[in-house]
Structure 1
Amino acid sequence: MSTKDEYVEKMKQRLDKWSAEMDVLEAKAHKSQKEAKVKYQEQLSTLHAMRQDGEKRLETLKAATEDSWEQLKAETENVWDAFKDSVHAFKAHFK
């Protein structure tokens, strides 16, 4: 089982990875055709909101007590899974 500090570090790494993936997707969006660009922008807005939620959850995890962080960890994993699924769907749709 991960300690709180290990998990917080793992989440920081995930957020960095999200940022890098989103940068690549945004670059593709800027190169796309006009109608596809609108769809890119809509989906990127959703991904940005999900990433911001991840950042908020990371801050909450940092401040959590040892007794409460396990529950927060489970909730954060759900957010991560939803974000990961959204990124995969986004990439598949705009290949």
Structure 2
Amino acid sequence: MSTKDDYIAKMKSQLDSWSAEIDALEAKANDVREDAKMKYAEQLAALRVKREEGEQKLVEMREAGESAWEQVKAESEKAWAAFKDSVQAFQAHYKA
């Protein structure tokens, strides 16, 4: 397996993990105080958008030729970091 394939597999695994965390947060939505439900739902929607962006980055990485691979990888790492930060901030805010 190439370094590219290894990296894509690692990112796919991480994305799956974060998707499971989002699903768990969605399941806890009923436990949120009524006055906070709207904000909670908005933040979950934003996390879903970031997850979709991560899935798109996976597609881009798979399709990237060797000449574009390093650039796509660098862009993807920025997207992963933003997604990870968003999930962690959400969890910290709601003590999930």
Amino acid at match of 2:57: R
Alignment partners' CA distance in 2, 1:55 and 1:77 = 13
Moved segments of 4+, more than 4 Å:
none
Alignment partners' CA distance in 2, 1:64 and 1:58 = 10
User: Match of 2:55?
Assistant: 55
TM-score, L = length of structure 2: 0.91
Greater displacement, 64-73 / 28-37? 28-37
Unaligned runs of 5+ in 2: none
Amino acid at match of 1:78: K
Alignment partners' CA distance in 1, 2:15 and 2:85 = 15
Question: For 1:39-87, what per-residue CA distance to the aligned partner results, in whole angstroms no more than 9, with x for missing partners?
Answer: 1100001000000001011001101101111111111110111111111
Unaligned runs of 5+ in 1: none
Greater displacement, 26-35 / 53-62? 26-35
Greater displacement, 39-48 / 27-36? 27-36
TM-score, L = length of structure 1: 0.92
Tell me, yes or no, if structure 1 residue 71 matches structure 2 residue 80: no
SS in 1 for 2:88: helix
Alignment partners' CA distance in 2, 1:51 and 1:30 = 22
Equivalent positions of 1:1-95 (< 5 A) are: 3-95=3-95
- RMSD across aligned C-alpha pairs, in angstroms? 1.2
* Percent sequence identity over aligned pairs: 56
Q: How many residues align?
A: 94
